[in-house]
Chain A
Amino acid sequence: MPLLFSKRSLDGFVEIDHRESPGFTEAEAVAAGRSYLIGAPKHFKAATFTCSHCDQVLIKNPLRTRERAHCIQCDRDICDPCGVTLKLTSVCQCQAKRINEFMAQACRAAV
Chain B
Amino acid sequence: MARRTVSVTTITPTATADTTNLVDSTYPFVLQGGSSTQLNRIWEVNITGQAASSSSPTFMLLARDSTVAATAGSNITGFADAPLDPATVALTAAPLTGDAWTTKPQRSSTLKLLNCSLNAFGGNFFWRANRVEECPAVLGNTASLGEVSLSAFTGGTVGAIGPHMVYESL
Binding site for B on A (CB under 8 A): 9-25, 28, 31-34, 48-50, 52, 54-57, 76, 95, 98-99, 102-103, 106-107
Contacts and interface: CB of A to CB of B under 8 A. Distances in A.
A59 to B, nearest CB: 8
A27 B128 CA distance: 28
Contacts of B93: none
A98 B139 CA distance: 9
Contacts of A21: 49, 55, 118-119, 121-123
Interface string B107-143: 0000111110111011111111111011111011000
Question: What's the dominant secondary structure at chain A's contact region?
Answer: mixed
B109 to A, nearest CB: 14
Interface of B: 36-37, 39, 49, 55, 57, 59, 62, 111-115, 117-119, 121-131, 133-137, 139-140, 145, 155-156
Contacts, number: 115
19 contacts: A12-B130, A13-B128, A16-B126, A18-B118, A18-B122, A21-B119, A31-B156, A32-B57, A32-B115, A33-B115, A33-B117, A54-B111, A56-B136, A57-B136, A95-B137, A98-B139, A102-B139, A103-B37, A106-B140
A18 B114 CA distance: 18
Nearest to A43: B124
